[in-house]
A and B are shown apart, each in its own frame.
Chain A
């Protein structure tokens, strides 16, 4: 078995004195879409923030392409090829759409295929809005812009924290289709979700988190095909449509 692109080994993370992660381990193979599943407050966002170096893990290791990045600064991790799309999907509100994208490309300073035009091809809506102050965009548009800005840095791994949170159902469908295209292009994705809809549609492998630890790990097909397992793990009576 080849080494995974991202290997998280037994990380413990706390915010001040309140501990959030109790030994989370997970692996993201190249080209795969891995999903962190769990309800609010189980540590999905903290796991992502730890990977990104924003809330560094106090113990454990994070290995990226064979190199330890556990205590690197966030900008170094971004430049190493991990792109983070946070839950609050905040854009740089005072900059317009185009400027946001340019900053994303310039900041990460990584060579690769992504250009402003390529982003506009993926999110045609943004092209029409390219000179709009991004603070005036709708939630869905901001989500697209945040993803686009991150792509401009040519990441090898995309961390998507609850991308569907707070968006209208129709917008979620569009977004799902767009992220599927990214996956089909070979981009590796680590996704955090509360619901099953987005995650089962995209993910190859699922980690279910509970109280800051991994409760279950397995292929997403197992979760899809076994309603009892699903109910057991998530206590959600959510059908897979």
Chain B
């Protein structure tokens, strides 16, 4: 019975509809948390195209998040570009940056690759930190305007919504669209070639795959979607700060991916949710959140290396196996 249920229920549609109800049922606080989770979930999922699918460990993924956030915010505030243009522009800018940095990174392997991604990210951070005239430097780029969401009030059920709630809906639709595209990419023949590279780059190479080119393509796509996430986050946060590109941010998104499970497409989203929720809960009890996070990670890495969703999937599989036996 449960197996049939698991197969026939369109879980993604259910999740989408449930998310639609959050502003209706929940408080403003929950809507805000949900927006946060969605955006960081997209950010983490974009990283997982490198980590889980291609087997590349990037320690500098925050760079593309930051570039997207700054480009969108600066375009909207300084140059009055409408969101509909600034948003894709942010993705393109991050994608181009990923193309330039990635060109060098994919020439190295393993830890050297990871270190170079970190080095480039620190350069991006330093530029954001110091380029006062454009980025606002250390003080950040503040008062990022919301996009014009007036048209959304004409939609059924949204007439009396606040801007923050409308922005949640906009985020929900855009993130869902991005996740859909990323999933299609992961399951495409292109994605399968990335899987062969993860399994064994040398073998992939002598089968005839130009490994570096495919790694670069994955790097650019991951950077592009990280940039889109950054663009959404800058507006949500009402400001963009150099911290967005700092190595700690890169570590945070890596933790989300590992926490949720990099072997599952929706693992990073679950990881983002868990990290945000835990952060909210634990910081209300103690100021030693990093300590709790550290302990949590240790337990996770030893006991559940497949992450939350990976462990859950293994459990379901085991239960089904027992039933069928």
Q: Does B associate with A? A: yes
Residues of A participating in the B interface, judged by any CB pair closer than 8 Å = 52-54, 73-75, 77-79, 84, 86, 90, 92-95, 99, 102-104, 106-110, 149-150, 153
- Contacts beyond the supplied A74-B202, A103-B193: 16 A-B pairs with Cβ under 8 Å: A52-B206, A54-B202, A54-B205, A75-B206, A79-B208, A84-B206, A90-B203, A92-B196, A94-B199, A95-B192, A103-B189, A103-B192, A106-B189, A107-B193, A107-B207, A107-B209
Q: Is B283 an interface residue (CB 8 A)?
A: no
Q: What B residues does A95 contact at CB under 8 A?
A: 192, 195-196
Tell whether B50 is near chain A: CB-to-CB under 8 Å. no
A54–B207 CB distance below 8 A: no
Measured between C-beta atoms, what is the minimum distance from A115 to chain B in Å? 16
CB–CB A94/B195 < 8 A = yes
Query: Can you list 10 A-B pairs with a CB-CB distance of less than 8 A?
Result: A54-B205, A73-B205, A75-B210, A75-B211, A79-B208, A86-B203, A107-B193, A107-B196, A107-B209, A110-B208
A77 to B196: give the CA distance in the assembly, Å.
18
A99 proximity list for chain B (CB < 8 A)? 192
Residues of B within 8 A of A102 (CB): 189, 192
- CB pair A107–B202 under 8 Å, yes or no, is no
Q: B207–A153 contact, CB under 8 A?
A: yes
Q: Roughly how many angstroms separate A124 CA and B202 CA in the complex, as a whole number?
A: 28
Q: Complex formed: what's the CA distance from A153 to B211 in Å?
A: 16
Please give the distance in Å from A212's CB to the nearest CB on chain B. 22
How many angstroms between the C-alpha atoms of A149 and B207 in the bound complex?
Answer: 8
CB of A203, distance to nearest CB on chain B (Å): 23
B228 → chain A, closest Cβ, in Å?
Answer: 28
Check: B237 CB closer than 8 A to any chain A CB: no
- Per-residue contact bits, chain B 180-200, to A (CB 8 Å; 1 contact, 0 not): 000000000100110110011
Partner of B208, one of A75, A92, A94: A75
Closest to B202 in A: A54
Question: Please, how many angstroms separate the alpha-carbon atoms of A73 and B205 in the complex?
Answer: 8
Name the residue of chain B whose CB is nearest to the CB of A100: B196
* Interface contact B192-A104, CB-CB below 8 Å: no
B193 closest partner in A (C-beta): A103
B204 within 8 Å of A (CB atoms): yes
Bound form: Cα–Cα A103–B196 in Å: 8
| Contact in complex: A109, B205 (CB < 8 Å) | no
Q: Which of B193, B195, B196, B206 contacts A78 (CB 8 A)?
A: B206
For B196, the chain A residues whose CB sits under 8 A away are 92, 95, 103, 107
Q: Chain B residues near A110 (CB, 8 Å)? A: 208
For B206, list chain A residues within 8 Å (CB): 52-54, 74-75, 77-78, 84, 86
Query: How far does the Cβ of A139 sit from chain B's closest Cβ, in whole Å?
Result: 17
3 closest residue pairs by CB, A with B: A108-B208, A78-B208, A107-B208
Whole-angstrom CA separation of A160 from B250 in the bound complex: 44
Give the residue of B189, B199, B211 whose beta carbon is less than 8 angstroms from that of A92.
Answer: B199
| A52 and B196 alpha carbons, distance in the complex (Å) | 18
The docked-state distance in angstroms from the alpha carbon of A173 to that of B25 is 69
B200 near A90: Cβ-Cβ < 8 Å? yes
Taking CB atoms, residues of chain B closer than 8 Å to A84 are: 206
B201-227 contact mask (Cβ, 8 Å, vs A): 1 or 0? 011111111110000000000000000
Question: Considering only CB atoms, which chain B residue lies closest to A106 in the complex?
Answer: B189
Q: How far is the CB of A79 from chain B (nearest CB, A)?
A: 5
Q: How far is the CB of B206 from chain A (nearest CB, A)?
A: 4
B208: A residues at CB distance < 8 A: 75, 78-79, 104, 107-110, 153
Chain B nearest CB from A107 CB (Å) reads 4
Per the bound structure, the CA–CA distance linking A108 and B204 in Å amounts to 10
A133 and B229 alpha carbons, distance in the complex (Å): 34
Chain B residue numbers with a CB within 8 Å of A79 are 208
- Chain B positions within 8 Å of A92 at CB level: 195-196, 199-200, 203
Contact present for B205 and A75 (CB under 8 Å): yes
**Alpha-carbon separation in the docked complex, A202 to B199 (Å):** 33
Chain A residue numbers with a CB within 8 Å of B204 are 107
Closest B residue, CB atoms, query A110: B208
